[in-house]
Amino acid sequence: MKVLRFSTFGIFMVVFYLPGPLTAQDSPENFIQRENAVKIFIDCERCDMNYIREEIPYVNYVRDVKEAQVYVLETSEMTGSGGRKYTYAFVGQLDYEGINDTLEYSSRPDDTRDYMREQRTQMMRLGLMRYVARTPLYNEVLINATEAVERQEVIDRWNNWIFELDAEPNFEGEQSFKEFSFRSSVSAAKITHDWKIEMDFDHRYTRTKYTYEDTLYSLSRSAKGLDNLFVKSLGEHWSAGLRMNILSSTYNNINFRINVFPSIEYNIFPYSESTHRQLRILYGIGNSYSHYYDTTIYDQMQDNLLQQRLQIAYQVQEKWGSINISLEESNYFYDLSKNRLELNGFIQIRILKGLSLRIRGGAARINDQLSLIKGELSEADILLQLQELETSYQLDGEIGLTYTFGSIYNNIVNPRFGNGRRFFF
């Protein structure tokens, strides 16, 4: 496959010049709010804000979105090559109301964190230029061309396929307890605008030894799984796919299980807006065949059952906060009482100036544990979580409320004794 690729980075290099030589007193860590500079609020996850403040000192950084003249939202998605696609939305507020822009940057899977940090900051520089150009500080910024845009023909001999191998041994021990675990995985993926193909094999093994009252106990747990996903794009709103899973797990009493689920998905919003909002409805009907290590509580050594699943997922990320909620229901056709209902969500909302609320949680109603072992479990099985236990529900969650007040400016960088209020080196 031949593709014409245009080099989009390396077109411009933004260099800022401050009047006079940079002295110790004028170093980035001592930059304070500057008169007539644009006030910006950056909304992103895992951003190195100290680095950004050092590299872009000709703006004022504020802590509250309502004080900002420019709101910058960074969102990201995994790309087919294993990298990430970053989308930057620049929204003008107050004096810059109506002046908006959107830029994109895609990283490669082998890019270093430092290189990605540099490129992400570069995109912010470029996006902020139209606002800085309207302030007296425009004469402190110089834009130079670097290399000319090159047009070159690229031949992808891998045809968009990405492969990954992973191995992770782990050991933990003390006088009366020792544990060795090993995890390995192999994955292959091909993601284009028309197709999404993912294949993942995962193997986990854990061996535990512990001594209690001069008796040595040795126990092990293992699991192997192969997940396959094939999805065909059917326009801006529809997708059709097939998910196939193969599983073996001593914890779940499953010697061999294979699930085959043809499914269809409808996204109310166009997929092209997925970095900002999604409302996806997915429905699938499939077959599940299981062979067990031991007799189940239903006196079965194997099952071959039809099952259906319905999932609704809503995601939105805006300057007022973000919402991620999913609701999934599944059941077996032979007995509708054998079902599972799961709700998971994360919500972060800026309530008012300096006050934000975040909620994360999940709840599940469980009535489909068909693989539970018949009979009593040993104390070791329960304490070391070697076997799945019967339950009718699962719950987890957290809630947080943050309030900050004081100066609206947030320009200064001082890395001494670690960053923030923790003494980490």
| C-alpha dihedral, 296 to 297 to 302 to 306, nearest 10° | -140
CA distance 425 to 409: 26
One-letter amino acid for residue 185 of the chain: S
Amino acid at 84: R
Nearest by Cα to 388 from 302, 308, 293: 293
Name the E strands within 271-410: 277-292, 302-318, 321-332, 335-352, 355-366, 393-403
Which SS3 state, helix, strand or coil, does residue 34 take?
coil
36, 136 contact by CB (below 8 A): yes
pLDDT, position 408: 57
How many other β-carbons are positioned within 10 Å of the β-carbon of residue 257? Answer: 20
Beta strand 141-145 pairing with 277-292: unpaired
Strands (E), 380-420: 393-403
* Cβ atoms < 10 Å from Cβ of 310: 14
Q: How far apart are CA 408 and CA 33, in angstroms?
A: 10
Domains and CATH numbers, the chain: 2-152 (3.40.50), 161-403 (2.40.160)
Per-residue pLDDT, 139: 75
What is the pLDDT, as a whole number, of residue 145? Answer: 60
Give the number of C-alpha atoms closer than 13 A to the C-alpha of residue 385, restricted to the C-beta side: 1
pLDDT, residue 425, reads 40
Name the strands in the sheet holding 60-61, side by side, starting at the edge strand that comes first in the sequence. Answer: 60-61, 39-43, 70-78, 84-92, 100-106
* Residue 145 Cα distances to 13, 14, 142, 148, angstroms: 6, 9, 10, 8
Q: Structure tokens of 100?
A: 């908006």
Q: What is the pLDDT along the chain (425 residues), one digit of tens a residue?
A: 333 333 333 334 444 333 333 333 333 444 445 677 888 898 887 788 878 888 888 888 887 788 889 999 988 888 776 778 888 989 999 888 888 988 888 887 777 777 788 888 888 888 888 888 888 877 777 776 655 545 555 566 788 788 889 999 999 988 888 889 999 999 998 888 888 999 999 999 999 888 877 788 788 889 999 999 999 999 999 999 999 999 999 989 999 999 999 999 999 999 888 877 899 999 999 999 999 999 999 999 999 999 999 999 998 877 677 899 999 999 999 999 999 999 999 998 878 777 888 899 999 999 999 988 887 777 666 666 677 888 889 999 999 988 877 665 554 545 555 555 444 44
Q: Which residues pair with 306 in a beta bridge?
A: 287
CA distance 115 to 9: 13
CA-closest candidate to residue 209, choices 199, 218, 200: 218
Q: Taking the model in full, what pTM does it have? A: 0.64
Among candidate residues 226, 306, 290, 288, the one with its CA nearest the CA of residue 254: 290
Q: Which amino acid is at 220?
A: S
Question: Which residue type does 272 have?
Answer: S
What pLDDT score was predicted for residue 155? 66
Residues 6+ apart with CB under 8 A from 279: 267, 268, 269, 312, 313, 314, 315
If one counts every other C-beta atom within 10 angstroms of the C-beta of residue 282, the result is 20
- Cα separation, 314 vs 324, in Å, equals 6
pLDDT at 423: 43
- The answer to whether 178 and 216 are in contact (CB under 8 A) is no
The residue written with tokens 């309207």 in the block is 134
d(CA 336, CA 329): 11
* Angle, alpha carbons 25-419-38 (nearest 5°): 60
Predicted confidence at residue 407, as pLDDT, reads: 64
Residue 134 tokens, joined? 């309207």
Neighbours of 360 (CB within 10 A): 15
DSSP character at residue 176: T
